[in-house]
C-alpha cells in the first residue's frame, strides 16, 4: 500500500506549492482547516489545509523534536527527488493517453512501480507537475492532454524558451552595441554575439525594425530585449550598423518603402521582358515609320531617354511642335506579373549612390529608350502653339522613330551661345524651341502659374563605408536648354489633359486646385520670396478628375511624358492608345480610381525615399565639412523669415532651411539679409543642425 493519508493531522509529512516551488513540511497542529507547519529549516508557517498536494504522508508520532522532524523531512525529500529522477512523464503519458482523461498521482505511480509507497507517489506527482506540456494538474487529478494539444503546448514551450533565451542573451549584446554606436566603447567583435539560434533571431528582429516591418509579437519582444536603451526611432539602425548587419550610410528608407534597389528584382520577370524586347525588334509589330527628325536633350549621364522633339515655325508666326515619347504601353501586358511589379515600384529613383529603375534596365535603358539611330516605337503628340503662347489644336499618333541625335544640356547651351560643337547642327531648332518656350512660360504666368526656380545640385560620392565622402556642387547652368525641354513636356501633358477632359475620357491628372493671391503668379528665385510663396501652396496630388494645377497655370495636367520612369505616365499612355485604336478607354472611371488609390500610396513611399535620402547626404556633407575645417567652416545663409523669437534662414549652397533664436542674429534682422553661420550638433539621420554663431556679411 502507498501509505497515503486522506485526512492529514499532526505528525504527517505534507507537500504544497509556493509559487512554482514545491515545499515539504511537517504538520505541528491542525485546527478547523488551518495548519501550523514546520519546515526543514525549522521555520514555522500557517496555511489552509486546502493548499496541500494530494499525496500527504506518511504519519509519525506527533511528539518529535524539531531536530528529529528536520531529519525526517530531509530523508523524505532526498528519496522523493531520487525517485522523481527515475520517472519518465512522457512514457506515463503514452500509456495513459487515449485510456483515461485524467488520474491521480497514485494511479500513475502504480504504472511506474508495482507497489509504490507514499514517497513514490509524491515523486511521481513531482515529475508530472514539471511536465506541463503533457499534463494539467487539476487537484486532485492530473488531466491528460491529447496528442494535438501536446504538440501545440510543446511548440508554445519551445517558443517561450527561445524568447527567454533571446531576452537573456540579447539584452546585454544590444547594450554593448549601443555603447559602440555612441562612441563610448569599441565596436564589439561580431564573433562575440550570442550563440545560435539567438544570434539569427536577434539579427532578423533588428532588420525588421530597421525596415519598419515588425509585427505585434516582435514589438513586445523588442521592448524586453531593448529595455533600458533610449526610445530612439533610429535605434535599430544604429545597432545594426554597430553590429555590421548593415553598412554605414545604409538607405533604410528603401526598406521602409519596400522598394528593392538595383536590378536583382528583374530576374523573376526575364521571360516577360524578353518578350517585350522581341516585339520591339520585330518589324511586323512596329507602327509605320515617320521621317520627322527628332532630337532629345538630357543630362550627359541619362540612359533612359523617354522624350524627344521636333519643332517648326508655323505660318501664323507661332510654332508646330511635336513631342515623341517612348511607347512601352504599345506592347505592355497590363495585369501581368511584370506589370504588377512595375506598378508596385511606381517610379524610378535617382539617388546620388545609384539609380533604381521602375522597369527592367533592358527595357528602360535598352529596347524602348529613344537612342539616336535606333528604331523605336513612339507616341507622337502634335501641338500648335500660337504667337502669344496659347496651345491650340493637338493630335496624337503612334509611329516608329529613329532619332537624329541625343544631345545634352551643356552642349545645347553652348550651341545657343554660338559655339561650335555637336549640337550646333541643330542650333536653328534649338533657338526656335527657346523662343516658343519663353512665350509659352509668359503665357502660363498670365494664367496664374506660380513657378519656383532653384539651382540644381550635383552630388558625388567618393570612397566606401566610413571613409565615404560627399561632394555637392551647383549643376552648371543651362537655363535655355532646360527651359525648352521643360516647356515642351508641359505642353505635351497639357495637350493630353485638354483632349481627355473635353471627351470625358478617364485619365490620371496631377492637380493643385487651390486659390492663391494673384500677385503670386510669376517666376520666383529669391529664397525669401520662395518661402513666402510656397507657404500658400500645397503639394500636387494624383487625381482622376481634371482639376486645375495652380503651380503650372493650367486648367488640367495629365502626365504622359515619362512612361519609362513613372507608372502614372505609362497608364495615361496606354489609356490614350486604347482610345485611338478601339474608340474606348482601357480602364473606366471606377477602375482608374482604384488604380490611382494604390499608386498614390506607392508614389508617396518612393517620394519619401527620394526626399529623405537627399536630405541625408546634404547633412552628411555639412558634417564632413565641419570636421574638415573646424571652427573656420561657415556657410552663407539668407534670412527667409523672422519674428520676435526665431529667425529662419536658407543655405543656398546645399538648399536647406534652418532656424535659430533671434538673439544669435542681433537686433535688426529682415528677410533677404545675408549672414555667415557656423553650425554644430549636425545629425544627418535626423536632418538636424544647429546654428551656433551668425555674423552679417
Rounded to an integer, what distance in angstroms lies between the CA atom of residue 613 and that of residue 256?
12
Q: Are residues 465 and 399 in the same domain?
A: yes
Q: Note whether residue 317 is domain-resident.
A: yes
* φ/ψ (deg, to 5) at 658: -135, 165
Rounded to an integer, what distance in angstroms lies between the CA atom of residue 401 and that of residue 372?
9
For residues 478 and 412, the answer to whether their CB atoms sit within 8 Å is yes
Complete DSSP assignment for 581-619:
HHSS-SS-HHHHHHHHHHHHHHHHHHHHHHHHHHHHHHH
Closest CA to 27 of 2, 45, 4: 45
Interval 479-506: pLDDT, tens: 999 999 999 999 999 999 999 999 999 9
**Stretch 147-158: mean pLDDT:** 89
Q: Note whether residue 585 is domain-resident.
A: yes
**Stretch 171-188: mean pLDDT:** 93
Hey, what's the cell of 78? Answer: 532526498
Hey, what's the cell of 434? Answer: 527657346
Q: Are residues 155 and 131 in the same domain?
A: no
Q: What's the pLDDT score for residue 209? A: 94
Rounded to an integer, what distance in angstroms lies between the CA atom of residue 9 and that of residue 58?
11
Q: How many other CB atoms are there within 10 angstroms of residue 337's CB atom? A: 12
Q: What's the pLDDT score for residue 73? A: 96
Q: Note whether residue 268 is domain-resident.
A: yes
Average pLDDT for the chain: 94
Quick check: bond before 58 cis, omega within 30? yes
Q: Are residues 411 and 444 in the same domain?
A: yes
Q: Are residues 185 and 302 in the same domain?
A: no
Q: Note whether residue 476 is domain-resident.
A: yes
Rounded to an integer, what distance in angstroms lies between the CA atom of residue 134 and that of residue 136?
7
Total domain count for the chain?
A: 4
Q: Are residues 424 and 300 in the same domain?
A: yes
Interval 576-631: pLDDT, tens: 999 999 999 999 999 999 999 999 999 999 999 999 999 999 999 999 999 999 88
Q: In b/e form, how buried is each residue of 21-49, taking b as 16+ CB within 10 angstroms?
A: ebbbbbbbebeeeebbbbebeeeeeebeb
What share of the chain has pLDDT > 90, as a percent? 88
Q: Note whether residue 624 is domain-resident.
A: no
Q: Are residues 298 and 436 in the same domain?
A: yes
Last residue of a domain, one of 613, 648, 674: 613
For residues 590 and 383, the answer to whether their CB atoms sit within 8 Å is no
End-to-end CA distance of the chain: 104
Complete DSSP assignment for 512-577:
B-----GGG-EEE-SHHHHHHHHTT----EEESS---BTTTTBS-----S-TTTBHHHHHHHHHHH
Opening angle at CA 119, ends 117 and 122, nearest 5 = 110
Q: What's the pLDDT score for residue 286? A: 87
Interval 647-666: pLDDT, tens: 999 999 999 999 999 999 98
Percent helix, percent strand, percent coil in the chain, to nearest 5 = 45, 25, 35
Q: Are residues 379 and 497 in the same domain?
A: yes
Interval 402-424: pLDDT, tens: 999 999 999 999 999 999 999 99
- Start-end of H helices in 265-314: 270-281
Residues with Cβ within 8 Å of residue 576, at least 6 apart in sequence? 379, 396, 496, 500, 507, 560
**Secondary structure element (H or E) that encloses residue 380, with its range:** strand 375-385
What are all long-range contacts of 469-477, with beta carbons under 8 Å and residues at least 24 apart? 469/624, 470/352, 470/617, 470/620, 470/621, 470/624, 471/621, 472/617, 472/618, 472/621, 472/653, 472/654, 474/653, 476/410, 477/413
Question: What is the domain range of residue 521?
Answer: 264-613
What share of the chain has pLDDT > 70, as a percent? 100
Rounded to an integer, what distance in angstroms lies between the CA atom of residue 679 and that of residue 632?
10
Q: Are residues 123 and 215 in the same domain?
A: no
Q: What's the pLDDT score for residue 290? A: 93
Taking phi over 0 as left and psi of -120 to 50 as alpha, with beta for the rest, 189 belongs to beta
* CATH code, domain with 690: 2.40.50.140
Q: Note whether residue 144 is domain-resident.
A: no
Q: Are residues 312 and 453 in the same domain?
A: yes
Q: How many other CB atoms are there within 10 angstroms of residue 353's CB atom? A: 13
Rounded to an integer, what distance in angstroms lies between the CA atom of residue 549 and that of residue 556?
6
Residues with Cβ within 8 Å of residue 179, at least 6 apart in sequence? 185
Rounded to an integer, what distance in angstroms lies between the CA atom of residue 512 and that of residue 555?
10
For residues 286 and 278, the answer to whether their CB atoms sit within 8 Å is no
What are all long-range contacts of 625-634, with beta carbons under 8 Å and residues at least 24 apart? 626/679, 626/680, 626/682, 631/678, 633/678, 633/679, 634/676, 634/677, 634/678
Rounded to an integer, what distance in angstroms lies between the CA atom of residue 343 and that of residue 607?
15
pLDDT band at 198 (very low <50, low <70, confident <90, very high): confident
Q: Are residues 237 and 288 in the same domain?
A: no
pTM over 0.75? The answer is yes
Q: What's the pLDDT score for residue 2? A: 66
Q: Are residues 338 and 283 in the same domain?
A: yes
Rounded to an integer, what distance in angstroms lies between the CA atom of residue 479 and that of residue 382?
25
Q: Note whether residue 619 is domain-resident.
A: no
Q: Note whether residue 423 is domain-resident.
A: yes
Hey, what's the cell of 277? Answer: 524586347
Last residue of a domain, one of 584, 613, 642: 613
For residues 49 and 32, the answer to whether their CB atoms sit within 8 Å is no
Q: Are residues 199 and 280 in the same domain?
A: no
pLDDT band at 1 (very low <50, low <70, confident <90, very high): very low
For residues 131 and 89, the answer to whether their CB atoms sit within 8 Å is yes
Rounded to an integer, what distance in angstroms lies between the CA atom of residue 511 and that of residue 516?
14
Last residue of a domain, one of 191, 219, 246: 246
Amino acid at each position: 500500500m502507498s501509505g497515503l493519508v486522506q485526512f492529514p493531522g499532526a505528525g504527517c509529512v505534507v507537500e504544497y506549492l509556493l509559487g512554482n516551488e514545491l515545499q515539504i513540511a511537517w504538520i505541528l497542529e491542525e485546527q478547523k482547516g488551518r495548519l501550523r507547519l514546520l519546515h526543514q529549516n525549522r521555520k514555522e508557517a500557517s496555511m489552509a489545509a486546502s493548499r496541500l498536494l494530494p499525496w500527504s504522508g506518511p504519519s509519525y508520532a506527533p511528539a518529535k523534536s524539531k531536530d528529529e522532524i528536520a531529519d525526517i523531512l530531509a530523508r523524505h525529500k532526498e528519496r522523493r527527488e531520487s525517485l522523481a529522477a527515475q520517472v519518465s512523464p512522457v512514457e506515463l503519458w503514452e500509456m495513459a493517453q487515449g485510456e483515461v482523461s485524467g488520474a491521480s498521482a497514485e494511479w500513475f505511480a502504480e504504472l511506474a512501480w508495482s507497489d509504490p509507497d507514499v514517497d513514490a507517489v509524491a515523486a511521481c506527482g513531482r515529475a508530472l507537475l514539471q511536465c506541463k506540456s503533457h499534463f494539467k494538474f487539476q487537484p486532485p487529478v492530473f488531466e491528460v492532454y491529447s496528442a494535438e494539444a501536446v504538440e501545440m503546448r510543446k511548440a508554445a514551450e519551445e517558443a517561450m524558451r527561445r524568447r527567454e533565451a533571446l531576452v537573456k542573451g540579447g539584452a546585454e549584446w544590444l547594450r554593448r552595441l549601443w555603447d559602440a554606436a555612441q562612441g563610448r566603447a569599441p565596436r564589439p567583435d561580431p564573433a562575440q554575439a550570442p550563440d545560435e539560434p539567438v544570434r539569427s533571431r536577434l539579427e532578423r528582429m533588428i532588420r525588421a525594425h530597421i525596415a519598419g516591418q515588425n509585427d505585434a509579437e516582435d514589438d513586445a519582444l523588442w521592448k524586453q530585449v531593448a529595455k533600458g536603451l533610449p526610445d530612439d526611432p533610429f535605434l535599430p539602425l544604429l545597432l545594426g550598423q554597430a553590429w555590421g548587419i548593415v553598412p554605414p550610410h545604409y538607405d533604410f528608407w528603401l526598406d521602409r518603402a519596400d522598394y528593392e534597389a538595383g536590378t536583382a528584382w528583374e530576374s523573376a520577370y526575364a521571360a516577360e521582358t524578353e518578350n517585350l524586347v522581341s516585339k520591339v525588334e520585330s518589324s511586323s509589330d512596329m507602327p509605320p515609320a515617320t521621317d520627322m527628325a527628332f532630337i532629345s536633350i538630357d543630362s550627359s549621364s541619362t540612359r533612359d531617354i523617354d522624350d524627344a522633339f521636333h519643332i517648326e515655325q508655323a505660318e501664323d508666326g507661332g510654332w508646330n511642335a511635336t513631342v515623341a515619347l517612348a511607347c512601352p504601353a504599345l506592347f505592355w501586358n497590363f495585369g501581368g506579373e511584370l506589370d504588377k511589379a512595375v506598378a508596385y515600384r511606381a517610379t524610378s529613383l535617382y539617388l546620388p549612390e545609384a539609380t533604381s529603375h521602375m522597369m527592367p534596365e533592358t527595357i528602360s535603358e535598352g529596347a524602348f529608350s529613344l537612342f539616336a539611330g535606333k528604331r523605336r516605337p513612339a507616341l507622337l503628340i502634335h501641338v500648335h502653339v500660337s504667337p502669344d503662347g496659347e496651345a491650340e489644336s493637338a493630335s496624337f499618333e503612334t509611329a516608329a522613330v529613329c532619332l537624329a541625335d541625343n544631345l545634352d544640356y551643356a552642349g545645347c547651351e553652348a550651341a545657343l551661345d554660338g559655339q561650335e560643337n555637336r549640337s550646333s547642327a541643330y542650333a536653328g531648332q534649338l533657338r526656335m524651341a527657346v523662343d516658343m518656350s519663353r512665350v509659352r512660360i509668359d503665357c502660363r504666368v498670365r494664367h496664374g502659374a506660380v513657378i519656383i526656380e532653384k539651382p540644381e545640385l550635383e552630388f558625388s560620392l567618393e570612397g566606401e563605408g566610413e571613409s565615404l565622402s560627399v561632394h555637392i556642387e551647383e549643376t552648371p547652368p543651362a537655363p535655355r536648354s532646360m527651359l525648352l525641354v521643360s516647356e515642351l513636356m508641359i505642353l505635351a501633358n497639357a495637350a493630353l489633359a485638354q483632349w481627355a477632359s473635353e471627351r470625358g475620357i478617364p485619365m490620371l491628372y496631377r492637380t493643385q486646385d487651390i486659390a492663391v493671391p494673384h500677385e503670386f503668379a510669376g517666376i520666383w528665385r529669391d529664397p525669401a520670396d520662395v518661402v513666402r510663396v510656397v507657404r500658400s501652396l500645397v503639394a500636387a496630388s494624383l487625381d482622376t478628375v481634371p482639376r486645375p494645377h495652380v503651380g503650372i497655370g493650367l486648367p488640367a495636367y495629365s502626365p504622359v511624358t515619362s512612361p519609362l520612369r513613372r507608372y502614372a505616365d505609362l497608364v495615361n499612355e496606354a489609356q490614350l492608345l486604347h482610345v485611338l485604336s478601339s474608340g474606348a478607354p482601357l480602364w473606366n472611371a471606377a477602375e482608374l480610381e482604384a488604380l490611382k488609390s494604390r499608386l498614390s500610396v506607392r508614389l508617396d513611399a518612393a517620394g519619401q525615399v527620394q526626399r529623405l535620402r537627399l536630405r541625408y547626404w546634404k547633412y552628411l556633407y555639412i558634417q564632413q565639412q565641419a570636421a574638415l575645417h573646424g571652427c573656420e567652416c561657415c556657410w552663407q545663409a539668407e534670412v527667409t523669415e523672422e519674428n520676435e523669437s526665431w529667425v529662419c534662414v536658407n543655405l543656398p549652397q546645399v538648399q536647406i532651411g534652418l532656424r535659430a533664436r533671434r538673439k544669435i542674429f542681433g537686433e535688426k534682422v529682415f528677410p533677404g539679409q545675408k549672414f555667415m553661420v557656423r553650425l554644430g550638433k549636425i545629425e544627418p539621420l535626423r536632418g538636424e543642425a544647429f546654428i551656433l554663431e551668425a555674423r552679417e556679411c
